[in-house]
Structures are given as structure tokens and as C-alpha cells.
Structure 1
């Protein structure tokens, strides 16, 4: 039976703005308070989805969240009508209003951790929504995320859904941004690779000093247990605290894996040789041949990696066995990074092609191609069980483009977030979107 790795890209929400909410994310903080363009952001994301579909990859769409999150504001003591809640928050606590309007759910690499059926004890695809409790504006996402994923992957015969881990620091979970999977074929048993920034209980693991380590070892271990993964199919690795302090807030900013290959920076991990040996040995037991592609610091510094988002790329398998790297335009704009990529693709190695995409609106808020997609490995039967409304087709692309043109503003500033009309616009847009994607009632305003 044929299997696929399907990329479900996050659709950028109507309130896309540069709030500078993510401490530790250099791009997010450096562009804080600039004017954003939600319409352009959504269209840029859709263009990438269509391009991958046109290349022959199976591509899906993951809906954004309802914003402003009036329910979250009410839980913090604001009251009255929805308009009065927004007005009161704008007057008394602008940072909370900005947080409640964040469109960060677009970066669906943080939506959940996914384990394919070939790896799990019960033979189903498992999803655990990420609690994202390190940042308030992201910690409010997982209830809606769970409902959306449940509407996309509804067949309990094939799919299992787990609630987010306890929302405490000891179980900080950032989803697939710190998780990847190695395998000979997407339908065969593989090795799941969990990367953590710190341990909540074991002092032997060093922690960063400047920026927070968002993923804990204990959260990764809990997800592996929930998904029924065997010990010989899991590898845990610690991210280098020094690179976290340089702005590498997730592993997908410093490494990306696919198939049998890991593409990573020389300074990405602690105990790198031991980790690579474990990955190689465990993948070999599953019939795979692990391939490590190390980018030397002498050719690309961590600073250049963060600025260009070289590793926040999509590494995709092509029909001839080679791999394609999807990178943001910022890689082409960085002379050292682009020179490295030209050398890499001309060397006759595994990565032989690079495609560049303009994702400036997302990049300025700290998210590149890898942030925008959640990978789900599915066999033919499981793919047929996915809600067909969320699988990208040429007609769906056209419909979503028209939907964005109809509902999205082309300019957004902090002052615009205080406009009660914005909430009405967003709800109208999302109500229509759930019909387009055949999701049913997944948003609080549709349920309450």
C-alpha cells in the first residue's frame, strides 16, 4: 500500500499582526509594532500550498483560530458585550488585547505532535495537541486546535486524538517544531526524534541563560507514551542551550529531517555524535540507512541560520530518490547561505534542488516554510479517511483565494485590533471558511 507525507499548511488568519509577543524569537521581536498585511500573508501561504500541489505533493489546509479571543479576555476579568470587552481591554490592558488577537496559529508546526500508524501500538495515527504554555498568546490555541484536528481526522478507526499535556512549565510542549521522524518509507515503522531544550526534573541537563527553553524532556516522553511508541523507535536529543540563547527557539530553526536524512547545523545539539549513532542504529533495525548532512559553522554561522531561516525549510522526497529543499527568500538574500546552498545542490549529494518562496509576511513575524506546515504520514486508506474538504485542489485554491480577497484587510496595526468591527469581520470569514472546508462547528462563536 502506498503511503504519503502530507503537509497541512496553516492558513494565515485575518488578524495577522506584528505584536512582538514571542520572547526568544528574534524576528518576532525585531519587527514588533510594524504594520502588517494580512491579505498578502494569507495569499503568500496559499501560493506555497498550490505550488507544492502542482509539484505532485499531497497538500492540505489547516484553518486559523477565532481572533480576537473574547473568551480568553473574559476569563481575565473583562466583561460586557463582546464589543465592550474589546474596548475595555484596549483601554486598560493593550498587551492582553494584542495577545488575544495573535494569528500565531498559522504556524501549525506547533499545533500538535503526530505519530503515524506504522509506529504506534494500536496501529492508528496519533495526534497530541501542543499546550504551548511558554507563551500566553499561544497557550490559548489548543482547545480550538483539538476541535479542528478532530474535524479533519474524524474516523476513530484510523485516528486517535489526545488532549494537550498539563499546562505547567514542567510539561512545556511545542509540538512538531521539536519532533521529526526518520524512515525508509512513510508507511514503514520509523524512528521518532524528539528534541528538548531542558529537563524539568533532572539537573544534569544544562539550560539556556538568556531565552527560555520551551520544550521539556518530560513533555516529549509523555507524548511518546500517549502515542504508544516503543523504546527502540524513539530517540531523545537535547538542543544546544547556546543556540537557544542566539534565537533558536525551536529545533526547526536549526535542523530539519525527512526520510532517512537529517539536515542540521554543526552547533544544533549537545552530544551530537552519540545522538547520530543512536539514530543510525535504531533506523538500521527498521531497514533504513541514516544519512546526516551537517552544515559547518565555518560556512554558515548560527546568526546567519537564524536570519535566513535556512533550516526552517521543507525537506521533501522526490520521485528519483533525491530531495528538494523549500526555503524562504531570505536564504537567497543572504550571500553566505546562498553560496552554501549552491555548493550543496551541485555536489551530487542527497539534496539536489532548492526552491525559493516569498513568505515575507510570515518571516517578519518569525515563521518560515517549516513553521507553516504540520506533517502527517498517511497510507492510502488513512488518506481516504481524511476530511476531503481540507485537501488542496485547484478549485479549492481558487475558492480560498477569493475568500481571502473578500474578507481580509491589507493593513493591520495595533490600533486596528481595538476595532470591534474586526471581530465581526473575522467571525463572518471563519463561518464561511468552515463551510468551504466542511469542518462543521469548531469555533467558540459557532458552539456557544
Structure 2
């Protein structure tokens, strides 16, 4: 069946800041305490998305979540008006308050795991919102994510939108950042690769936490009705996690039949590749592009986010395009490797660069900002049209960002109770621009 792959990027939220909340994320820790530029951040994301839309790719958006998240603070015992809740929380529990102000939902690769209808038993597109329970600031995202997905992909005929897995450490799930789909073409049945960092019932003692469990991967495959013969569940290497690869998409990306990965991406590389070959038998011939650690040291791969790039089937081009962060062109090893990569006859013919520095400083490259969704023609027609990027929406969102977003935001600025009102005015306006309804956010429901 004919299908396309659409990218749904997370819009950078009004409270984008550098609070350093994510353990194991080296960029987040390095830039903790710096002053962020929310307006520049959202405009960078819009520019990246427009570039893909102009090339002929289908591009949509996920809305920012409500931040500061006053309902979360009320559930933890803070009372008074919304402004008083925020002032009291920041004064009495500043670390908690900063967690409730995070704009981390911008990294839509963590929003959900997506299985296209070509892979599922009931022939519907399945999405499971991630529980993200490994970090406090992200653990509050799941319910709003599920609501957003239902607003964008409405109706049970084409879409099955699932709530997050049980909020329990055995089912820690970080979404599509630990999931790769390989296939001959987007509309054909494929192989779904799930990558985990730890088994829920083992003792994990390492420099950084392993966020995804094997049990979560198994549950998602069952829930989505996937054929066990075309599912591969592999373990991310301990070396990668301890080097700062907190998600598998920091060391691995795939598109079509191509898997582009670092030598240290998997604990058992040959076993993982053999499992993919076996699962793909009769469907397609996998193509593996392995980057040696001797050419791109794991530290460079993580700091430059070479693998946190978008690997794209570009319209009217025979070879794929890697849309990488600017930092890959500024790191000697990754720059040299990319030049070598495109000079050969391999599946990747071109490397382009995107400036998403506001996101990168918090540990998210171009691939972090997008959720990949394969859609048939009927499914594409059923998507809420208000979220699909065109010239009108780009102009509207650009004006919206310039009107409502602060130019700068330091961690200390988060204490300002005006930020609650400013963010709500911005999000209320956004629901009209994207046709999300007048009761999408908690504050809109009174």
C-alpha cells in the first residue's frame, strides 16, 4: 500500500530554559544555568520544519505542553491562586518548580512509539504515549501527550492511540528515541527494532541510568499487535550509555532498509544485525552503515549528535539525505566522516546541516525534535489539517512566536509569576491557530 512518512515536530515551548534536569544528558549538564532564548529556539525549529515542507515532505507539529504546570503543583499540596501557587513553589521548592517549568516536550521523538498500519494485526496505526518516568520533568508529559495525539490523529477507524504504559519502573518507556523501523518502502510491512538499556529485574550499577527497559519494549510490541517474527529487541551497549548516550537515537538512526549506527550502539552488534536480517527475510534486504569508533570516537558522536540526525528519503533523489546538526560540521571527526560517507556509493548521498543550537544545548538534535509517522492516503486525510505545515501556518506560527515568546530566559527568570500568564496567553492563541479546540489545555477548562 502506498504511504508516506510524515514528521511531526515538537514546537519549542515558551518556558524553554537550561535548568540541567536530565541526568546522563551531557549537554544538559554542561549548559545548566545558562540563559536560554525561547524565541530563537522556536524559530529555529520552525525553520527546520519549513525546509522539509518546502522540499515536498509532509511536516506537522505537536503543541507545547502547559508550563509552568500548575495542576502538578496543586496535586503536590500547593494552594492559592495560580500565580500564588507558582510563587510559593519557587520559593519553597525551587528544584520542583524548575521541573514543572521544563519545555522538554519539544523533543517529540520521546512523545510516543509509533507502529504503522502495515505492521499491525488490526491494520490501524498504533501510537503509545511514553511514560518517561526516568526523570521528574518528563514524567508529567504522558497524559498531555496522549491528549495531543488524539486531537491530531482523531477517530478509531484509522488510529489507535494508547495511554502510557503503567507508571512503574519495570515499564520505563522513552518512546521512539529507542525504536527504529526498517522497511523496503514506507507502506510495506517492516521490521521494528526496539532497543532497551536494562532488564527491569537486573541490578543496574553504572555511571548513568539506563532509561528504557526490555519489559517496556515487549509490552509495546504486544500492544501494537506486531508479528513477533518481524520484531527485534536489542540491548543498547553499556559503553554507549556510560558515555552519555541516554537514548539509542544518540548512536543510531534508520530509514527505509538502512540502519546507520555507531560501532558501540549495541551490546551485541553481530547478534542484533543477524536478528534484523532474519526478521527482514522475504521483506527486504537490510543495509547496514556502521561507523567505527576509530573514525568517530563515541565522545565525538555524542557531543556532535551525528546520529541524532534525520535520515530522510528526499523527493526526486535516489540516495538518502542526512539532516545533521551544525555541530557535526564543527567537529573534526564527524566532518571528515560525513565527507567520506557521501563520496562513496552508499545509500546516503548528501549531508545537510540544521541550526537547532537552542535545542542542542539541552541535548536534543534534529531527530529529537520530530516524531516519525507513516501514513497511508486515507490516514493522511484523517489527520487534523490544522497541524500540517504550509505557508499559511508557517507565517501564523512565526508571528505567534515573535508576539508571545521572550527573547531570553534564565533559570532565575522562571520565578516570575508573569510567566504563568504569558505562557497561557500564548498557548490559548496556539489552539486557535492549530485548530485544537478551546478546551485543549487544563487552564482553558477553568
Q: Name the TM-score, length of structure 2 as normaliser.
A: 0.98
Q: Within the alignment, does 1:320 sit opposite 2:320 as a pair?
A: no
Q: 2:179 is matched with which residue?
A: 179
Equivalent of 2:293 in 287, 293, 297:
297
Deviation at 1:359, TM superposition (A): 0.7
Q: Is 1:333–2:330 an aligned residue pair?
A: yes
Aligned-pair CA distance for 1:285: 2.4
Q: Is the 8 A contact 1:15 1:103 kept in 2?
A: yes
- Displacement of 1:207 after TM fit? 4.3
Q: How far off is 1:233 after superposition?
A: 1.5
Q: Aligned equivalents of 1:280 and 1:230: distance in 2?
A: 15
Structure 1: how far apart are the matches of 2:441 and 2:65?
7
Aligned ranges for residues 122-133 of structure 1 at < 5 Å? 122-133=122-133
C-alpha separation in 2, matches of 1:447 and 1:199: 40
Q: Could you tell me how far apart the structure 2 residues matched to 1:426 and 1:74 are?
A: 18
- Over the aligned positions, Cα root-mean-square deviation in angstroms equals 1.0
1:348 Cα deviation from its structure 2 partner: 1.8
Given that 1:284 and 1:290 are in contact with CA atoms closer than 8 Å, whether structure 2 keeps it comes out as: no
Give the superposition deviation at 1:109. Answer: 0.3
Residue 412 (structure 2) pairs with residue 382 (structure 1): no
1:208–1:242 contact (8 Å) kept in structure 2? no
SS of the residue corresponding to residue 236 of structure 1 reads strand
Match of 2:306 among 298, 306, 310: 310
Distance 1:8 1:39 in 2: 20
Report the alpha carbon displacement of residue 60 of structure 1 after superposing the two structures with TM: 0.7
Residue 126 of structure 1 contacts residue 159 of structure 1 at CA under 8 Å; is this kept in 2? yes
- CA shift, 1:55, in A, is 1.1
Q: How far has the Cα of 1:294 moved from its partner?
A: 0.2
Partner of 1:162: 162
Q: Distance in 2 between matches of 1:66 and 1:57?
A: 29
Aligned to 1:443: 441
d(CA) in 1 for partners of 2:76, 2:225: 37
Contact persistence 1:7–1:373 (CA under 8 A) = yes
- Give the C-alpha shift of residue 75 in structure 1: 1.4
Q: Distance in 2 between matches of 1:336 and 1:220?
A: 33
Residue deviations 1:200-239 (CA, integer Å, cap 9, x gap) = 12x4xx8461100000000011111110111012000000
1:399-438 to 2 correspondence within 5 Å? 399-438=396-435
Matched residue, 1:73: 73
The answer (yes or no) to whether the contact 1:208–1:245 under 8 Å persists in 2 is no
The answer on whether the counterparts of 1:17 and 1:103 sit within 8 Å (CA) in structure 2 is yes
Whether the 8 Å CA contact 1:109–1:374 is kept in 2: the answer is yes
Q: How do 1:40-439 and structure 2 match up within 5 A?
A: 40-201=40-201, 203=202, 207=204, 209-286=206-283, 288-318=284-314, 319-439=316-436
Runs of 4+ in 1 over 4 A off after TM superposition: none
**Counterpart Cα distance in 1 of 2:230 and 2:281:** 11
Task: Measure, in 1, the Cα distance between the counterparts of 2:372 and 2:357.
Answer: 22
In 2: Cα distance, 1:285 partner to 1:279 partner = 12
1:40 shift after superposition = 0.1
Aligned residues: 444
Q: Is the 8 A contact 1:208 1:244 kept in 2?
A: no
Deviation at 1:254, TM superposition (A): 0.4
C-alpha displacement of 1:324: 0.3
Paired with 2:133 and 2:8, the residues of 1 have a C-alpha distance of 23
User: Distance between the aligned counterparts of 2:340 and 2:411, measured in 1?
Assistant: 43
Q: 2:38 maps to what in 1?
A: 38
Deviation at 1:161, TM superposition (A): 1.0
Cα 1:244–1:208 shift into 2, 3 Å = farther
Alpha-carbon offset, residue 320 of structure 1: 3.4
Q: CA deviation at 1:243?
A: 1.2
Q: Partners in 1 of 2:358 and 2:276 — Cα distance? A: 36
Q: Give the SS at the match of 2:265.
A: coil
Deviation of the 1:321 alpha carbon: 3.0
Q: What is the DSSP-based 3-state SS (H/G/I as helix, E as strand, rest coil) of the residue aligned with 2:161?
A: strand
Secondary structure of the equivalent of 1:413?
A: coil
TM-score, structure 1 length as denominator?
0.98
